[in-house]
Amino acid sequence: MRIFMRIFYQIFLIFLFAIGLQANVDAASKRGKKAKQKIEKIVSYAKNADAMSLADAISEQENLDPAWVRAQIGAAKRLPLVIKLMSPGPVGGKKNWTVYRSRFVTSLHIDAGVAFWQANKEALQRAETEYGVPPGIVLGILGVETIYGRNTGSFRALDALATLSFDYPTEHPRREARVAYFRGELAQLLVLATQMRREPTSYKGSYAGAMGWPQFMPSSWRKHAIDFDGDGKIDLWQSQSDMVGSIANYFKAYGYKSNVVSRAGLAFQQAVVELENGEEASTQYPVDDNFFVITKYNNSYYYAAAVLDLGTAIEEKIKNANDKK
């Protein structure tokens, strides 16, 4: 009987081992299938007829080598996350200025802004003299956009712009206009890469294709970015002077008025805009013409107000520190 039980026990152990081995094989097979599915989801635009047609149009319009343009756009990858991020949000929800402001006017933003001001006082003052844009506006933009370079985006700009050119969310109410815009930006990226002698795939930025600390789109980079440090090149990733001068130059081009002098360059007595606070009472925010110039950077009253409030908070901290000396 003992011998029989010993044999039975050994057979049982072998049976359990076989079951475990098969489970591991099944798990590995599932992992392999998932990995294969992920690989299959990476889609390029090399065989997209619409993409190749645009490539030919860009090469003719911008006088670029047709084969090179086709190769660059063909190397772009479709990014499902970009499509998701660009999709319209739920309808009916109220905006909340208090919550929105709290994301940007923080001790982290303010302290980083003060540090940037201390490192770039000369460039900020020179930009105000030459372009009429006060330091608070430049500091507010850099803080709201990327927290002074801490978050410039990790998407390849070529992939993001191609995705938004050929796979823009179909449910978006302004899809046609947005597609036209991003196709124009895709063309500008290729021209920019040619001028800077860089591979288009080397540019990284936001999911919308904005790049550098100031988050310039390719067309804005070409139109408004300047060599403010005089080193013979424009660099919105490394040269903080170029960033300062380029932002100031951008706003001057859109009509910023240097004769308006008050907190962060804003005259408060002219008008107000209403900023919703969810279910609470709305904020009546004082504005002037320069406020609407700021919305040329991002078409949102909430954005412009956050830029102004952050710039003001930074200037106040600098002033308080100077008063204590």
- 271-277 and 204-205: which strand pairing? unpaired
- CB-based contacts of 277: which residues, under 8 Å, 6+ apart? 96, 97, 98, 283
Q: Could you confirm whether 122 is annotated as catalytic?
A: no
d(CA 205, CA 156): 6
Annotated catalytic residue, options 60, 122, 145, 171:
145
Active site residues: 145
